[in-house]
């Protein structure tokens, strides 16, 4: 059975990651934290699985596109 990936909002992310709101946004710009998704006209959130992946390896996390490019360049 498939389980839907929950969307978590900004108030949840600092509690899960230990990062401040400003640090989260800075890391998004740097490409070292998952970018948020537009979930409504004025709302954003993150896939919970993206946050879980970042928590599992915060220093090694890269956006999916960057990871695919790295693997392609090694081949």
Cα 26 from Cα 48, distance rounded (Å)? 19
**Residue 60 corresponds to which tokens in the numbers above?**
């090694």
Delineate the domains of the chain, giving CATH numbers in brackets.
7-74 (1.10.1660)
Binned at pLDDT 50, 70 and 90, residue 33 comes out as very high
> For the segment 36-74, what is each residue's pLDDT rounded down to a tens digit?
999 899 999 999 999 999 999 999 988 877 555 544 555
pTM for the model stands at 0.78
Map the chain to HEC letters: CCCCCCEECCCCHHHHHCCCHHHHHHHHHHCCCCCCEECCCCCEEEEHHHHHHHHHCCCCCCCHHHHHHHHHHHC
Q: What is the pLDDT of residue 35?
A: 94
**Residue 57 corresponds to which tokens in the numbers above?**
């390896």
């Amino acid at each position: 059975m498939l389980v839907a990936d929950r969307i978590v909002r900004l108030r949840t992310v600092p509690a899960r990651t230990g990062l401040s709101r400003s640090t989260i946004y800075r890391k998004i710009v740097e490409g070292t934290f998952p970018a948020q998704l537009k979930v409504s006209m004025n709302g954003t959130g993150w896939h919970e699985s993206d946050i879980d992946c970042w928590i599992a390896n915060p220093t090694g996390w890269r956006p999916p596109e960057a990871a695919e490019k790295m693997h392609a360049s090694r081949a």
